[in-house]
Amino acid sequence: MILRRLTPELLDALPPDAPEARASRRDLHALNALMGHRRAWRSWLRREFASTPPRAIAELGAGDGAIVAENLLTTFPDGNGATLFLVDRAPCVADGTLRTLQHAGWSVRVEKADVFDWLSEPRPLDAICANLFLHHFDDTALARLLALASRAAPLFAAMEPRRAWLGLAGVAALPLMDAHPVTRHDARVSVEAGFCGRELSALWPRAGWICEERRALPFSHWFCARRT
């Protein structure tokens, strides 16, 4: 398909409380469910951690943190003191989400930070995940981000938009679900900035890692790297 093209996303420039931002985040919830991302992250958590939660896991570009937080709660109803870092330069995690996680024994740290700064500080992490986040960066920034992530944890996984005609067809259908204009714009530019082939593996440091990268679900692209 076409080469990757990066266009700034409207949601990134809106104050988290703006009505357009709220509407677009609501659409994102619906889209994450519709595209199968929620289910995919739950399967991944079960596969990787069986019945014991990771001691510390971070979501990069977490936004309201809903996707990983909900899945952690369903998969591990008892967090047993494990730590979840929700990293975003404009986090908007609902108090209800925080309370529910804390009540279930999770220690939640909402980290308002740029990912590059945050990843530069060493902290013990079992895993890092990212949903609809890596496509924000051009290849140079992405190579830097992935290098930092590879030093920060032994396991990294990302679910991203797939750069394919089917994705653009899906975007054209968004008015049918009454998606907000911000969502429609951001969905189109996200597909154009998305990934295909082994583009993320090519940017991941080679030695000492096993990378899995593939088409996932109808519209998505999956990448997982595991330290050997």
155-161 and 220-227 strand pairing: antiparallel
Q: How far is the CB of 228 from ligand SAM (least distance, A)?
A: 28
**Binding-residue pattern over the window 19 to 38 for ligand SAM, x denoting contact by CB under 6 A:** ---------x---x------
Q: State whether residue 182 is helix, strand or coil.
A: helix
Q: Please choose, out of 69-77, 85-93, 167-175, 203-211, the segment that lies near ligand SAM by the rule CB under 6 A.
A: 85-93
Residue with tokens 């730590």: 83
Q: Which lies closer to ligand SAM via its Cβ, residue 100 or residue 105?
A: 100
Q: Which lies closer to ligand SAM via its Cβ, residue 61 or residue 170?
A: 61
- The number of CA neighbours under 13 Å toward the Cβ of 158 is 27
DSSP 175: G
Using CA atoms in the order 219, 172, 23, 43, what is the torsion angle rounded to 10 degrees?
-10
**CA gap 119, 115 in Å, rounded:** 6
Interaction between residue 183 and ligand SAM (CB under 6 A): no
194, amino acid identity: G
**CA gap 194, 120 in Å, rounded:** 25
Interaction between residue 115 and ligand SAM (CB under 6 A): yes
Interaction between residue 90 and ligand SAM (CB under 6 A): yes
Residue with tokens 């940017």: 203
Interaction between residue 133 and ligand SAM (CB under 6 A): yes
Among candidates 128, 44, 119, 121, which has minimal Cα distance to 84? Answer: 128
Q: Please choose, out of 88-96, 161-169, 193-201, 211-219, the segment that lies near ligand SAM by the rule CB under 6 A.
A: 88-96
Please provide the size of the chain in residues. 228
Q: Which lies closer to ligand SAM via its Cβ, residue 90 or residue 105?
A: 90
Interaction between residue 12 and ligand SAM (CB under 6 A): yes
Q: Which lies closer to ligand SAM via its Cβ, residue 56 or residue 115?
A: 115
Q: Please choose, out of 130-138, 149-157, 162-170, 176-184, the segment that lies near ligand SAM by the rule CB under 6 A.
A: 130-138
What is the binding site for ligand SAM (CB under 6 A)? Answer: 12, 28, 32, 61-63, 67, 88-90, 114-115, 131-133, 136
